[in-house]
Chains A and B, each alone.
Chain A
Amino acid sequence: VIVPFGERALLVELRATGAPLALFESLEADPIAGIVEVVPGRSSVLVELDDAADMVAVSASLAARAGGAPPTRRAGRLRTIPVTYGDEYGPDLADVARLTGLTESEVVAAHLATELSVLFCGFAAGFAYLGDLPRPLHVDRLATPRTRTPAGAVALAGPMSGIYPAELPGGWRVIGRTPLRLFDPTRRPPAYLVPGDRVRWERITADEWVARAEDAPDW
């Protein structure tokens, strides 16, 4: 379903798992003239048009892309994110264990065992929503959000995991922290994790974290 959203935007609603990323990747690889902004969501893609674009024609082109055969997707790039779990790196790990009925080790093991995809971005520059977590790891957000969550915090909420790209207020439960710097507005693209990428976690010790603090990965 494609609905107008404001004067210059169309929201393409796509319920099938993977369909928003498939359309996003299609538009990245082969742009439709007149589209100036593409924003993937969890079950939609927002496209914004320039003032001169013909909304009806763009809508028809999008319908042709989004309809038809089930989405075929390239395998996204695999990104490995080093994480130190628990203690001061993951102050909510104990609560997550309590809420899920798992031990802290089991929470960490389940997190490490899950390969996630960057489904979409949002919240702040460079924040990637990673999903979906296995059901046993689904937890509610904090009742009272933190006023400061440190850069690199690896956190959970509902079916998703995410990494705070900068020190920000936040309501997700922090189970670990990566030393990597994942957002740099001087690089292209400015984010290490982009929609469609696959993400794996690699456990590192606190000493390794300190040694790698502020590391900027190749991207």
Chain B
Amino acid sequence: VIAVVDPGPLASVQDAAGRRGWRRYGVPTGGAADAWSARLANRLVGNDDAAAVVEVTLGGATFETDAPATIALTGGLRLRVAARPVPASQAARVAAGTRIDVDGGDGARGYLAVAGGIRVPIVLDGASTDLRAGFGGHEGRALRAGDVLGLGPPSGMAHRWLGRAPSGPIRVLAGPHPAALPVLAASRWTVDPRADRTGVRLDGPGGVPGAEVDSMGLPLGAIQVPPEGRPIVMLADRPVTGGYAVPGCVIRADIGPVAQLLPGHDLEFAIVDVAAARAAWAVREAELELLEPLDLASDAGWAGAHP
């Protein structure tokens, strides 16, 4: 098992895929806000992409296992094992009872994977926690100090990732109300402190012409603009329908970078076409393969057994 010593401001069990096929009944997709990083965390510890992980928000979280385990942290946070920093994007071996700290970093969310995967009941075909409706994940709620999460049997190899984190503007496709898209792309935006798993709100100098519209289904990354003019990029926990104008939609490849934005971070949008969006996704998929096997037994430097 892995025990939650301190969940930090918000930690929950999530999976990379979220739920598919239930949005007609109002059930959001959910799942990891930065699903790409959740998949990478699983690959680093030899799990299937679909294994459940812990999504930690902002840092300040501590865990421990009751048996030796292989773990990895991806995304924008930093990992320490037995007080020693673990290099980014590589698996680490922990001994029973070793303190696992997830600290703040240059992004909003970290994905803690454990070899074998976090074991939770599958609800509506998914392991993710629906925090709004209160089901899925661990008891349908955010993790608390003292929670104990079961683990599956480890199967694969540990790895180190050799790629680099993406950078650059956030790429967008035109949405159903594209008139405001040029204004959106011409401005520099700052992330509002209310950014959460539902969406990332943006502040800017001028604002974008927004409007109330008939409620419609929202794909991941839809940029809603309410009448007051400040855009919201909709993420994993977005309601299945929304009633504001949508000038654009963030491409799939750049959802992870948006989910990692911290309050106060700046961002810019760049308009692309569908072919470019698909090419960008193919690049991100290929980057998941940039893995090098890691022999943790011979690498005791931060294995945690000897603090």
Query: Is B249 an interface residue when CB atoms closer than 8 A count as contact?
Result: yes
- List A residues at the B interface (Cβ < 8 Å): 3-9, 11, 13, 24, 28, 36-46, 48, 120-129, 165-166, 168, 183, 185-186, 189-191, 194-195
Query: Is B207 an interface residue when CB atoms closer than 8 A count as contact?
Result: no
Q: Which chain B residue has the least Cβ–Cβ distance from A129? A: B215
Q: How far is the CB of B165 from chain A (nearest CB, A)?
A: 22
Contacts known (A11-B216, A125-B132); A4 close to B26, Cβ less than 8 A: no
Q: What 1/0 mask marks residues of chain B from 1 to 35 whose CB sits below 8 Å from any chain A CB?
A: 00000000000000000001111111110000000
Let me know if A124 and B133 touch, CB within 8 A.
yes
Q: Which chain B residue has the least Cβ–Cβ distance from A55? A: B274
Query: Is B217 an interface residue when CB atoms closer than 8 A count as contact?
Result: yes
Q: Which chain A residue has the least Cβ–Cβ distance from B28? A: A125
Cα-based distance from A39 to B277 in the complex (angstroms): 23
Q: How far is the CB of A44 from chain B (nearest CB, A)?
A: 5
- A8 proximity list for chain B (CB < 8 A): 219, 252
Let me know if B130 and A125 touch, CB within 8 A.
yes
Q: What 1/0 mask marks residues of chain B from 179 to 219 whose CB sits below 8 Å from any chain A CB?
A: 00000000000000000000000000000000000111111
- List B residues at the A interface (Cβ < 8 Å): 20-28, 123-124, 130, 132-136, 173, 175-176, 214-222, 239-242, 246, 249, 251-252, 274, 277-278, 281
- A24 proximity list for chain B (CB < 8 A): 24
- A42 proximity list for chain B (CB < 8 A): 214-216
Which residue of the partner chain, among B24, B26, B175, contacts A124 with CB atoms under 8 Å? B26
Q: How far is the CB of A188 from chain B (nearest CB, A)?
A: 9
Contacts known (A37-B21, A166-B133); A43 close to B123, Cβ less than 8 A: no
Q: How far is the CB of B17 from chain A (nearest CB, A)?
A: 11
Let me know if A13 and B176 touch, CB within 8 A.
yes
Cα-based distance from A168 to B26 in the complex (angstroms): 14
Most chain B CB neighbours (cut-off 10 Å) among A11, A185, A186: A185
Let me know if B173 and A44 touch, CB within 8 A.
no
- A195 proximity list for chain B (CB < 8 A): 24
Q: Which chain B residue has the least Cβ–Cβ distance from A120? A: B241
Let me know if B124 and A185 touch, CB within 8 A.
yes
Which residue of the partner chain, among A5, A43, A165, A185, contacts B136 with CB atoms under 8 Å? A185
Q: Which chain A residue has the least Cβ–Cβ distance from B220? A: A6
- A122 proximity list for chain B (CB < 8 A): 26, 215, 239-242
Between-chain CB contacts (< 8 Å), 19 pairs: A5-B176, A5-B249, A6-B219, A6-B222, A13-B176, A39-B24, A39-B240, A41-B215, A41-B217, A41-B241, A43-B216, A44-B216, A120-B215, A124-B26, A125-B25, A125-B133, A126-B25, A185-B135, A190-B27
